[in-house]
């Protein structure tokens, strides 16, 4: 194989491959046929640019799980299939995967073993290398592991060649240009007329280019690799099925089920390569197998509502536009559902059951003030559980039948622009939904579990930054914090576990110092809160944009203040310290339990203690504790044991500073049955408890000498710092919290 690759070095274009060289390639790969498919610039289809048999032509294949090479192009995986006619083997890979037998029907050979390898340049997918063996081949029918390795070597070599392969006219109607039936200019003009999605290219070709429906259908059939179906008034679609699925929904999504049984469905669609819609269709119909047909948008609408054929002419006999027909079809409905980062209207009552279910889950979570939605599959036939996290506590709100869990996860993936064909690795995405006119963004994580895929949807906070005064800080902490963040340079850390409000606090600080004279850069993952005047950068692992890289770039962008989302490693921490020592004010976060522990943690990852001590301004540790509902909380007189518990929690040596008269203490507890305002829980909202360590000269000296966290805490408390639990006790005495919640969220 090495000798063959060396000879290929002299080949500048794929068209220069000689028959002798092709035969050597096939022999080295133990294959009978070799084809190379190039990815089109739009990433939606492959065009065959080389075929060792010389009979394939420039056929096109959609990038979708409907074909073997299309699946490989969509997923970037290598496939080696021993029997491509085995539906069972194909459906184990993906329910929609099929083998295109058209070539076999035109020859005397029957394909059996197929191997398809992605052609990659870094993360970019350039095409697919396809190898085939036939049943009447005498030796080595099945591809061995060594063949796969050599095919990958060839695919790596071909990556450079595909960059120089000339592109061709794209789309199902490109052959019409080659045949001289239409010109490039005419096709481009007609294509621009279809940009709005209100009329099909096929119809325009019949109206303005003199083509027949059968000629248009032949182009679509050859391009998509599925049969073309035009409207036939004698072919009836079950009206009950259409009504059950909702005719308006079908019209908007441009598909219709021509036939449906418990095991199979025949679906007419305008674009069978649309993988997201194909996944939606399979889940909505709830059948294990779908056969797709391609048709014009207009003909799909005729099947959905045959009466619109009569509506195609108005009273004066003039043609009515497709846009007008859609308006008539939808009877004024304006709710639209779109995918990915584009908005989805979750109040759409015309959507089918699975879509409505997901919309309902998101809508109910938003209404209840939840921060997260958890979709958790269970073992076997047990229903999946849906829980929401409200005020830091998970609460079950729904059970989803086991048979519909995959449909729910697939719908979440579609809305988040995730790969619906991949269920073995975690995926992250985001979506935007519109509810009653308000836009909400959700961050989505889909993870494989032993019981199937689960999903967690984080509802990102809406609105701008909170003011410092609304952070519920003690008078001492607030005053000290303002003094610290008004300094011109240094590093200030906000620490705590995930969900403790670190981002909210940092943006409140930035809002305090955000003036026209101050240039502020932030690197966040994700950007949850936006403020005018800030230059905010979203981290992107796909292009290797992480915190360390962003921080290095910020230093060349003339900043005054820098916020780094998290100091996860030595490189980021070292860069942050360097930035603070060169005249910048740096804010960042870390996942630690207390302020003193933060110092020892950063020293443990390798920071220079002298530089760190010089740069450090202070550390704010915080937690969010469930707040008593102000509508139903109940005052009471604590007994001696409970009062002693509070004294011990605050510390006997410091308790007197609170000025509390034991006999006059009045505490509050959650209402026994709650109230409608708190959904019967007795708690509504959360309040922060804080621990602010100031980097005094004494603390800096301890940092230089690497003193343990306990000694740093002792000195800081002598200088006025109060721990998280002590701050919580103060807020218990003010009637905002109870000891049960404070003890649960703080540690000693």
Q: For 158-162, which contacts have Cβ atoms below 8 Å and span 24 or more sequence positions?
A: 158/36, 158/119, 158/126, 158/127, 158/129, 159/119, 159/120, 159/121, 159/126, 160/121, 161/11, 161/13, 161/14, 162/14, 162/36, 162/38, 162/39, 162/49, 162/119, 162/126, 162/127
Q: Distance from CA of residue 92 to its chain's centroid?
A: 25
Nearest in space to 522 (alpha carbons), one of 540, 509, 534: 534
Checking if the pLDDT of 419 tops 50, the result is yes
pLDDT of residue 338: 37
Which stretch of 219-223, 310-314, 643-647, 658-662 has the lowest confidence by average pLDDT?
310-314
| DSSP output for 584-614 | -EEEEEE--SSHHHHHHHHHHTT--HHHHHH
What is the model's pLDDT at position 106?
61
Domain 2-162 has CATH 3.30.450.40: yes
Q: Is the pLDDT of residue 460 over 70?
A: yes
Cα-Cα end-to-end distance for the chain: 66
Q: List, edge to edge, every strand of the sheet that includes 384-390.
A: 343-345, 427-435, 438-449, 452-459, 372-376, 384-390, 393-400
Is residue 313's pLDDT more than 50? Answer: no
C-alpha Rg value of the chain to the nearest Å: 32
21-67 pLDDT tens trace? 788 888 888 888 888 888 877 677 788 888 887 655 557 788 888 88
Confidence at 136, pLDDT banded by 50, 70, 90: low
**Domain spans, the chain:** 2-162, 228-333, 343-459, 468-626+685-724
Could you tell me the two tokens for 230? 């035009």
Confidence class of residue 254 from pLDDT cuts 50, 70 and 90? confident
CA–CA gap between residue 595 and residue 493 (Å, rounded): 9
> Which CATH architecture describes the domain 228-333?
2-Layer Sandwich (3.30)
The residue behind tokens 């022999």 is 27
For all residues of the chain together, what is the average pLDDT? 83
Yes or no: is domain 468-626+685-724 CATH 3.40.50.300?
A: yes
Instruction: Give pLDDT, residue 322.
Output: 41
The reply to whether domains 2-162 and 343-459 share a CATH topology is: yes
pTM of the model: 0.56
Identify the DSSP state of 521: E
**Cβ atoms within 10 Å of 666's Cβ, excluding its own:** 10
What CA–CA distances, in Å, run from 506 to 524, 553, 714?
11, 21, 26
The token pair that represents 523 in the structure block? 């690197």
Residue 394 near residue 387, CB atoms below 8 Å: yes
Topology of the domain comprising 343-459: Beta-Lactamase (3.30.450)
Q: What is the pLDDT of residue 518?
A: 93
Q: Which of 101-105, 400-404, 573-577, 733-737 has the lowest mean pLDDT?
A: 101-105
**CA–CA separation, 652 vs 646, rounded Å?**
9
| pLDDT tens-digit series, residues 322-338 | 444 444 444 333 333 33
- pLDDT above 90: percentage of residues in the chain: 34
Mean pLDDT of 516-526: 91
């Amino acid at each position: 194989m090495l000798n063959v690759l060396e000879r290929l070095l002299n080949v500048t274009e794929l068209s220069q491959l000689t028959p002798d060289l092709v035969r050597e390639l096939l022999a080295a790969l133990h294959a009978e046929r070799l084809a190379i498919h190039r990815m089109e610039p739009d990433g939606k289809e492959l065009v065959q640019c080389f075929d060792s048999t010389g009979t394939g032509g420039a056929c096109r294949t959609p990038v979708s799980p409907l074909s073997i090479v299309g699946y490989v192009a969509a997923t970037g995986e290598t496939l080696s299939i021993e029997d491509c006619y085995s539906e069972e083997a194909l459906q184990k890979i993906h329910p929609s995967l099929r083998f295109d037998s058209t070539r076999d029907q035109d020859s005397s050979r029957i394909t059996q073993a197929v191997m398809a390898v992605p052609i990659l340049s870094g993360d970019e997918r350039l095409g697919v290398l396809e190898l085939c063996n036939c049943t009447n081949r005498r030796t080595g029918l099945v591809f061995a592991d060594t063949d796969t390795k050599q095919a990958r070597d060839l695919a790596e070599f071909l990556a450079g060649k595909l960059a120089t392969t000339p592109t061709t006219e794209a789309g199902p109607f490109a052959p019409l240009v080659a045949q001289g039936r239409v010109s490039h200019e005419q096709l481009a003009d007609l294509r621009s007329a279809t940009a709005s999605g209100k009329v099909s290219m096929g119809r325009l070709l019949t109206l303005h280019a003199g083509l027949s429906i059968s000629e248009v259908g032949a182009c679509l059939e050859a391009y998509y690799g599925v049969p073309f179906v035009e409207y036939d008034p004698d072919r009836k679609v079950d009206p009950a099925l259409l009504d059950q699925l909702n005719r308006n929904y079908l019209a908007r999504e441009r598909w219709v089920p021509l036939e449906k049984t418990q095991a199979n469905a025949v679906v007419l669609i305008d674009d069978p390569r649309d993988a997201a819609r194909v996944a939606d269709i399979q889940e909505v119909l709830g059948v294990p197998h779908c056969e797709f047909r391609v048709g014009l948008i207009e003909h799909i609408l005729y099947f959905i509502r045959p009466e619109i054929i009569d509506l195609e002419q108005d009273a004066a006999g003039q043609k009515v536009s497709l846009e007008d027909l859609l308006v008539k079809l939808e009877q004024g409905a304006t709710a639209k559902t779109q995918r990915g980062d584009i908005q989805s209207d979750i109040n759409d009552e015309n959507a089918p059951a699975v879509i409505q279910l997901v919309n309902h889950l998101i809508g109910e979570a938003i209404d209840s003030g939840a921060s997260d939605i958890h979709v958790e599959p269970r073992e076997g036939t047990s229903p999946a559980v849906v829980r929401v996290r409200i005020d830091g506590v998970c609460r079950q709100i729904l059970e989803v039948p086991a048979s519909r869990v995959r449909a729910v996860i697939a719908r979440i993936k579609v809305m988040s622009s995730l790969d619906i064909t991949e269920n073995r690795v975690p995926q992250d995405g985001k979506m935007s939904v519109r509810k009653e006119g308000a836009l909400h963004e959700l961050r989505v994580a889909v993870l494989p579990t032993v019981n199937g895929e689960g999903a967690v949807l984080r509802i990102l906070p809406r609105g701008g930054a909170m003011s410092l005064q609304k952070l519920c800080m003690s008078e001492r902490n607030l005053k000290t914090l303002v003094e610290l963040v008004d300094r011109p340079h240094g590093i200030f850390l906000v620490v705590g576990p995930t969900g403790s409000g670190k981002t909210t606090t940092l943006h409140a600080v930035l809002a305090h110092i955000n003036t026209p004279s101050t240039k502020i850069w932030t690197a966040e993952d994700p950007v949850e809160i936006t403020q005018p005047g800030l230059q905010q950068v979203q981290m992107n692992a796909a292009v290797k944009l992480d915190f360390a890289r962003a921080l290095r770039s910020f230093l060349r962008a003339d900043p005054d203040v820098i916020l780094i989302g998290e100091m996860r490693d030595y490189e980021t921490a070292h860069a942050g310290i360097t930035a603070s020592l060169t005249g910048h004010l740096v804010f960042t976060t870390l996942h630690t339990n207390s302020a003193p522990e933060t110092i020892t943690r950063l020293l443990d990852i390798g920071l220079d203690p002298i530089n760190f001590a010089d740069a450090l301004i202070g550390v704010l540790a915080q937690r969010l504790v469930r707040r008593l509902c102000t509508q139903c909380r109940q005052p009471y007189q604590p007994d001696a044991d409970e009062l002693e518990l509070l004294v011990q929690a605050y510390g006997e040596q410091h308790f007197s500073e609170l000025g509390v008269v034991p006999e006059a203490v009045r505490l509050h507890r959650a209402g026994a049955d709650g109230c409608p305002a708190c959904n019967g829980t007795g708690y509504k909202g959360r309040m922060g408890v804080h621990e602010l360590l100031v980097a005094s000269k004494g603390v800096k000296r301890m940092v230089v000498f690497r003193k343990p966290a306990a000694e740093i805490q002792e000195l800081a408390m002598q200088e006025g710092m109060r721990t998280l639990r002590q701050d919580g006790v103060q807020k218990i005495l003010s009637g905002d919290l109870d000891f049960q919640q404070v003890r649960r969220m703080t540690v000693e």
